[in-house]
Structure 1
Amino acid sequence: MTRSLEHAFLRFVNENRLIEPNRPLGVAVSGGMDSVVLLHLLNQWRARLKVHLYVLHVHHGLRGQEADEDLLFVENLAEQLCLPFSSARMDVRGYARSHRLSLEEAGHLLREQQFLRWRDELGLQAVATGHHADDQAETLLMRLIQGTGIEGLAGIRLKKPGLVRPLLFARRSEIQHFALRRGLAYREDPSNRNMRFLRNRIRHRLMPLLREEFGFDPESNLLHLSLVVQDWVAFMEPELENLKKQINKARVGNQIELDISVYQAYFSWLRVRLLEQILQEILNRPYRLSYRRFHQFDRWVQRAQTGAHYALHPAVWVWRRDDRLVFLPEAATDASLDPVSLEPEGEFELPEFGLRITVELLPREAVEFTRDRTVEFLDAAQLEFPLLLRRWQPGDRFVPLGMSGSRLVSDFLTDRAVRGPEKRQVPVLVSGHRIVAVLGQGIDDRFKVKENTKRVLKIQVERI
């Protein structure tokens, strides 16, 4: 069996063109059995494959001394094989907390990010990982239990940008047999036996039950299913590229604005992919949207009125503005952004506010009033410079145009049907300690242009 695994490995790598000759390849080695076997197989065939190997190890900072010993074990293994070695330490717990992820999700994302960094820094063609056929079957069952769509049934990809899985054909039993015959040392992770984790319950309870009680081989059947779905997803790649182009066209500053008619024109599978791409753009990391969450959002889109808002993700808001859906990061609604000073002349690019503001001093006779909400005119003599631009804050008051008494900015915006995340991100312009304008909504009556005004400050606002 040992020789058959060796040659099956070489055949699988060549048939699927997983490794380019004469280019270095990274090997992700945790110290566990699967990655150690992968390293030995690649090292055995490296002359035949014409490939130089780098041993790579990620320390997750989760298991204290055990994790330190894993790192030392892999470093020593690389030295024994006379291979270059690199390691990186990750704060998985902190990342999970700050990004509202499980430890497993955070660890997966940080590992892949580090693999891509190594690829670029070391000039690697890719990083090889030790995923095998049993991992594939367990992943598919996990996704079926937790809820998934078609793309989720593609499972672990054989190849993706920067990553390859040369052991994806092999069964765990074959890998164990190879390690035993070769007398390979490896590290045991006690968490692999912890039944709190769904993957372990699937591995140690569900899979044996399917084999013993139902008499079929779940690994082979599920692996075949994943390959069929991967072919279908590959067929749909051109449509996915079109989605990315659509999102690029819809980006306005730090938010994405999409016509509802465009969103609804796609069939449901592509609408899910569209939302995932939008979330990935805003969150700056891959994101899988559950079909349950998608259907909830889809129903909201059908009934939402202008001004309605929806939390598609804890860090991403959506609100309906007329016939458009506006997606923006939670941070874009943060009132704590530092104020920005505006001088009486100039153009100011303010990406943190998603605005470009042009300020110009004009003589009174040069002013032509319009109903354009992107332009405000103020009596320059009443202003103290520099003006300050900031988000409105609870308790802010001003005197709306045409009124004699002050109102809370919050109430003023609500009356104008500005709600949800759109409301929280509205900027105000401040002179001294007084609000002179709620940008895009109206100016303070005390600063309006009057008959005796001689100089006018023109403020033009453009979203970027």
Structure 2
Amino acid sequence: MLEKFTQHIHQNFPFLLDKKVLLAISGGIDSVVLAHLFHQLHISFSLAHCNFQLRGEESNGDEIFVKELAKDLNVTIFSTQFDTTNYAEEKKLSTQLAARELRYNWFQKLTEENQFDFIATAHHADDNLETFLINLTRGTGLEGLTGIPAQNGNIIRPLLIFSREEIENFAKQNSISWREDASNASAKYLRNKIRHQVIPILKEINPKLIQSFNNTSTYLQESHQIIDDRVSEVAEKVTTKNNETLQFNIEKLLQLSNPKAYLYQFLKGYGFNEWDKIYNLLHAQSGKFISTKSHILLKNREFLLFSPTKRGDLNEKSISKIDEGTKKINHPIQLTIQEIDQNAIESKNSIVVDKNLLFFPLIIRKWKNGDVFYPTGMQGKKKVSKFFKDKKLSMFEKNKTWLLCTSKDEIVWIIGMRQDRRFLANSKTSNIIKISK
């Protein structure tokens, strides 16, 4: 195995030979073998061990074992203890998910503080097969069938091509000791059921199951890369970027062979799961939307608009007051207020008003149904909603727009768009204020 591992590192992870690696170690056979392999290849590494305090003295025994291993290999070890049970309860997570979140957050922190280049975990081919079968039973897209990636950012998994059997044989041949986790034998967890009940039957059917799966996984990953390339190519044709908003051209989407599949590929990483409803947005009324905790997808005429959601994007109730004499504000929008001697030309980003017509404090707020103002350059009054409609503003744009009003709630300025003519300064005005974005 050492020869195969050496060749594997030189072919697929040559950068490890002159980088600093943080090796996550549990005390189990896979991580202990990986530590010995790194040591024999003279890779610069340190160990990181998490005691999740879930198995009493057994957990403490694991911690003692890996500290002794660090001494034997003459490498640095970082160790920590987590109150995993309380963390899981606070975060409303399963114990397994809580442990995963705790350890990876800690690994990344260690990496930043100690300038490690990579985090290595000891996942192997059997882990990969188990993950594949778990995803298959739960239902998944192609990415869920490609298995555990050999590298994901700064996380690497150099043992993925090796089976558990190969790792055990290497450990026995080299008199390497390790710790057994008794919970791995329990049928309480889905992964263990698949490991002890399903995979043995599959191996009876195909004794070379791991090798066959490795080949299949490689083919799936290659196919997935082809799909990614095609999705990137199509994305360039059907999308345009406007600040933080991505615009999908509906007409071009509908010309694709399977718009729903492409929308899934575009949006799969943002928490969406109602793919039929997302597809139906293509034919929905303008203004319909679907949102997640982080993003929103909005139908706006001939486009689907995709944007991060920020606090208040859909229903902002925030109100800010400007007292008389204030020169500048920074929240919720930056405005500068100055008294000037003569009238100035109104622009998109500034207005001039007759101070004597204002009632302080001025109010900055979002628009609401029923708002009416008297736009400059027009006769009569107009509903703000109709003004937005005429300008063909999307819901995103409407809800990012602020109004400057008097304390009597009279609109002075749709900020950055149009002033109300009732407050215009003229040549006879003696007290002129200029308000600028």
TM-score range relative to shorter protein: 0.7 to 0.9
Contact 2:53 2:59 in 1 (8 A): yes
Matched, 1:27 2:23: yes
TM-score, normalization: structure 2? 0.72
Q: How far apart, CA to CA, are the structure 2 residues paired with 1:366 and 1:414?
A: 28
SS in 1 for 2:311: helix
Residue type of the alignment partner of 2:290: Y
Matched, 1:175 2:167: yes
What is the aligned length?
Answer: 420
Contact 1:400 1:444 in 2 (8 A): no
Deviations 1:310-352 (A, max 9, x none): 12x24432222333313222534374768486998978776xx
Aligned twin of 1:186? 179
Work out which of the residue numbers 114, 134, 137 in structure 1 matches 2:129: 137
Work out which of the residue numbers 326, 329, 335 in structure 1 matches 2:306: 326
Matched, 1:306 2:286: yes
Work out which of the residue numbers 375, 380, 390 in structure 1 matches 2:355: 380
Work out which of the residue numbers 6, 24, 28 in structure 1 matches 2:2: 6
Alpha carbons of structure 1 residues 246 and 209: separation in structure 2 relative to 1, 3 Å: same
Q: How far apart, CA to CA, are the structure 1 residues paired with 2:384 and 2:276?
A: 31
Alpha carbons of structure 1 residues 79 and 346: separation in structure 2 relative to 1, 3 Å: farther
Residue type of the alignment partner of 2:286: T
Work out which of the residue numbers 202, 208, 214 in structure 2 matches 1:223: 214
Matches within 5 A, 1:382-421: 382-383=357-358, 387=362, 389=364, 400-401=372-373
Residue type of the alignment partner of 1:260: N
Deviations 1:150-172 (A, max 9, x none): 23322111223212212112222
SS in 2 for 1:144: helix
Residue type of the alignment partner of 1:319: L
Contact 1:413 1:419 in 2 (8 A): no
Aligned twin of 1:250? 241
Contact 1:344 1:386 in 2 (8 A): no
Q: How far apart, CA to CA, are the structure 1 residues paired with 2:53 and 2:324?
A: 49
SS in 1 for 2:46: strand
Q: How far apart, CA to CA, are the structure 2 residues paired with 1:437 and 1:201?
A: 68
Q: How far apart, CA to CA, are the structure 2 residues paired with 1:91 and 1:260?
A: 49
Contact 2:21 2:119 in 1 (8 A): yes
Contact 2:239 2:249 in 1 (8 A): no
Q: How far apart, CA to CA, are the structure 2 residues paired with 1:454 and 1:398?
A: 33
Matches within 5 A, 1:61-460: 70-87=62-79, 104=96, 107-108=99-100, 111-180=103-172, 182=175, 184-188=177-181, 190=183, 192-212=184-204, 214-215=205-206, 217-235=208-226, 250=241, 252=243, 255-261=244-250, 264=253, 271-276=263-268, 279=270, 293=273, 295-311=275-291, 313-324=292-303, 325-329=305-309, 331-333=311-313, 335=316, 339=320, 366-368=344-346, 379-383=354-358, 387=362, 389=364, 400-401=372-373, 427-429=402-404, 431-432=406-407, 434=409, 436=411, 439=414, 448-449=423-424
Residue type of the alignment partner of 2:43: V
Distance apart, 1:299 and its partner CA: 1.5
Work out which of the residue numbers 48, 62, 66 in structure 2 matches 1:56: 48
Contact 1:319 1:422 in 2 (8 A): no
Contact 2:146 2:221 in 1 (8 A): yes
Contact 2:150 2:158 in 1 (8 A): yes
SS in 1 for 2:17: coil
Contact 1:54 1:85 in 2 (8 A): yes
Give the share of equivalent positions with the same residue, in percent. 24
Alpha carbons of structure 1 residues 83 and 331: separation in structure 2 relative to 1, 3 Å: same
Deviations 1:193-214 (A, max 9, x none): 55454323322232233334x4
Alpha carbons of structure 1 residues 42 and 121: separation in structure 2 relative to 1, 3 Å: same
Higher relative contact order (CA 8 A, sep 6+): 1
Aligned twin of 1:405? none
Q: How far apart, CA to CA, are the structure 1 residues paired with 2:185 and 2:153?
A: 32
Q: How far apart, CA to CA, are the structure 2 residues paired with 1:175 and 1:116?
A: 27
SS in 2 for 1:20: helix
Gaps of 5+ in 2: 375-382
Residue type of the alignment partner of 1:231: E
Alpha carbons of structure 1 residues 455 and 231: separation in structure 2 relative to 1, 3 Å: farther
**Rg larger for:** 2
Q: How far apart, CA to CA, are the structure 1 residues paired with 2:274 and 2:111?
A: 34
CA RMSD of superposed structures (Å): 4.9
Q: How far apart, CA to CA, are the structure 1 residues paired with 2:300 and 2:132?
A: 39
Gaps of 5+ in 1: 280-286, 403-410
